[in-house]
Each structure stands twice: as structure tokens, then as C-alpha cells.
Amino acid sequence: MENATTIWMDGEMVPWDDAQVHFLTHALHYGTAVFEGIRAYRTPDGTAIFRLREHIERLRRSTRAYGIPWDYDVDEIMEACREVVRANGLEAGYIRPLVFYALGAIGLNPAAAEVRTGIAAWEWGAYLGDEGIRNGIRVRISTWRRISGQSFIPVAKGSGQYLNSVLAKQEAIATGYDEALMLNVDGNISEGSGENLFLARDGVLFTPPISAGILDGITRASVMDLLRAEGVEIRETNLTRGDLYAADELFLTGTAAEVTPIREVDDRPIGTGKPGPLTRQAQELYAEAVTGKLESRRDWLDYV
């Protein structure tokens, strides 16, 4: 990770090395925080943040889901994100807002702890590698099941819930794969450790529904919107492990991962073993949308 220069902390711009927290920060002990991951892109009209409002609205929903009292307006935090990108002189990069319980409580009731907000931004290339974006990645089905709505809030980005993703990711890397796909407690496919999944079969796209315990991904929604506008049929439906093995194409979507093809699942090649036509179409349309080349989706961009 490349260090940037400035982090926004509770309304102040703080030099990178001074953006520190105390050892007794509640969120450090119990994961009592919520966050977002957002990208800014170079466009012909300058740097723009992709679907910033949707990300900050999801952040606010995450605070509500976990009962974190948070006084900011969505517009204030959107402006803070633009400020961080400007202050770091970034033309493109990744933006990480975090709302966390800080000092003031050390038991499980965080009510007495101060709620703090920080926003960092830095340069970040392809999350699953340039080679992965071009030729596809190798994934495995995790032995870990995705957190369920009976224990957590899968549609929220709660920091503590990411220990589940970390277990799956570590297992995938340790056993020689690039990424993990998780089944849910019902045995249906949910998603990757930090990405949503799409499957192509006979020219139709399928993706697990929100009720499969996935995050309601903003890239997922964007890709669905872009492809449906091109006449591609997309069905939100439960998928099994067998459906993946028999797929013509598979790809992942996420702010960090963008649109990443999957070339193998559990050592079985998918389709031809090369990124297929619907995957390429999703990649191209998404790349055009984020870089301001699609006039019809200019309202998804927030210029810094």
C-alpha cells in the first residue's frame, strides 16, 4: 500500500503519520465499527468518485443497522471524501471511510464510547492483480460459511463481520488460490470474501439474491443496470456449487475488484478457461461508466 499524506479525522485534516488511535479504542477490541470502500477514477473532465452518494448512504445504513449514533449528513461526508482526494493530490485511488467506537467504554456496551469518523485515501491498483483482471483468477469454495442474517447483518459493512471474510481469504491464499467463494448456511452460493458473484449460462446471467446473505454491492447493482440496458437477461436466483462448476462464465464484482473474471473454481476450468463474452462486456461497460465515457451514466460520477 502506498502512503498518502493526509487523513480526515473528525472534521480535521491530519498528517498521515499522526492519524493514530488509543490502544483502548472500543472498535479495536470488538470490531464495533462500520466502513466503506470507494474508488475515484481519472476521467476526461478530471478526477471523479464513483457513486459516492450510494456509498455514503450505505455507510449511514450500516451505522443505523448497528445502532451507532452518527450525526453527520450524507452531504458533509461526501464533501469530506472529495477533500481527502484533493488534499492527497490523487488522480485516482481508493477511499476508506470508517465510523468507529473510540474511547470511553471497554465492556460490551459501547454506549459511553465516543463515536469517531475517519477517511483515508490512497493509490490502489487492481485488487486481484492486473493479470487477474486480464486472464481471470483461480478461486476455491471455502470451508467457511458466510455469516448469516441470524447472527450478523450481511447487508451492513460491519468491521467485526469481516473476520469471516479474513478466514476465507487466508484459507484460499494458504492453499494456493487467489480468492474464496463462500456458501451460506443453507449451502447456496453467497459471494466472495469481498466481492459479489455472477454466473453466465446460455447467454443469461445469474447472481445470488440479497436474501442469500450477501452484501448489496454497488458494483453488482451498476453492472446489472448497465447490462440490462444492453438487453442482457439477469436473474437473481440461488446458485449451488454444481451450478458454478457447470457455468459458461463466472466473474466477481466489487469496488476494489471491479469486474474480475474467474478462470477456475476448485481446480476446474470454467467454460473455455478464458474470460467469456458477457464477462468482457461487463468489464468494458463498467470501465466506461467509471471513467466518464458513458454519457447516460454521468450522474454516477462526483467530480472532486
**Could you list the active site residues?**
157
State the nearest-atom distance from the C-beta of 254 to ligand PMP, in Å: 4
Among 46, 98, 101, CA closest to 77: 98
Q: How far apart are CA 155 and CA 38, in angstroms?
A: 16
Is 31 near ligand PMP (CB under 6 A)?
Answer: no
CA 262: distance to chain centroid?
Answer: 17
Pick between residue 215 and residue 285 the one whose CB is nearest to ligand PMP: 215
State the nearest-atom distance from the C-beta of 22 to ligand PMP, in Å: 27
Q: What is the DSSP string of 123-178?
A: ----TT-HHHHHH-EEEEE-SSPPP-TTTS-TTS-BGGGHHHHHHHHHHHHHTT-S
Q: How far apart are CA 63 and CA 155, in angstroms?
A: 12
Among 204, 233, 215, 90, CA closest to 149: 215
Pick between residue 37 and residue 160 the one whose CB is nearest to ligand PMP: 37
Q: Confirm if 114 and 101 have CB atoms less than 8 A apart.
A: yes
State the nearest-atom distance from the C-beta of 114 to ligand PMP, in Å: 26
State the nearest-atom distance from the C-beta of 92 to ligand PMP, in Å: 16
Is 226 near ligand PMP (CB under 6 A)?
Answer: no
- The stretch near ligand PMP (CB under 6 A) out of 85-93, 97-105, 211-219, 237-245 is 211-219
State the nearest-atom distance from the C-beta of 54 to ligand PMP, in Å: 8
Interface characters, 49-88, with ligand PMP (x: CB under 6 A): ----------------------------------------
Cell of 48: 471523479
Among 117, 184, 219, 281, binds ligand PMP (CB under 6 A): 219
Q: Which amino acid is at 107?
A: G
Among 81, 88, 144, 191, binds ligand PMP (CB under 6 A): 191
- The stretch near ligand PMP (CB under 6 A) out of 18-26, 170-178, 239-247, 252-260 is 252-260
Is 196 near ligand PMP (CB under 6 A)?
Answer: yes
Pick between residue 180 and residue 232 the one whose CB is nearest to ligand PMP: 180
State the nearest-atom distance from the C-beta of 73 to ligand PMP, in Å: 21
Residue spans of beta strands (DSSP E) within 208-303: 234-236, 249-254, 258-265, 268-269, 301-303
- The stretch near ligand PMP (CB under 6 A) out of 24-32, 114-122, 249-257, 288-296 is 249-257
**270: which DSSP letter?**
P
Among 217, 275, 276, 292, binds ligand PMP (CB under 6 A): 217
Q: How far apart are CA 65 and CA 61, in angstroms?
A: 6
In Å, how far are 80, 81, 96, 302 from 39, measured between CA atoms? 14, 10, 9, 11
**32: which DSSP letter?**
-
User: Contact residues for ligand PMP (CB under 6 A)?
Assistant: 37, 165, 191, 194-196, 215, 217-220, 253-255
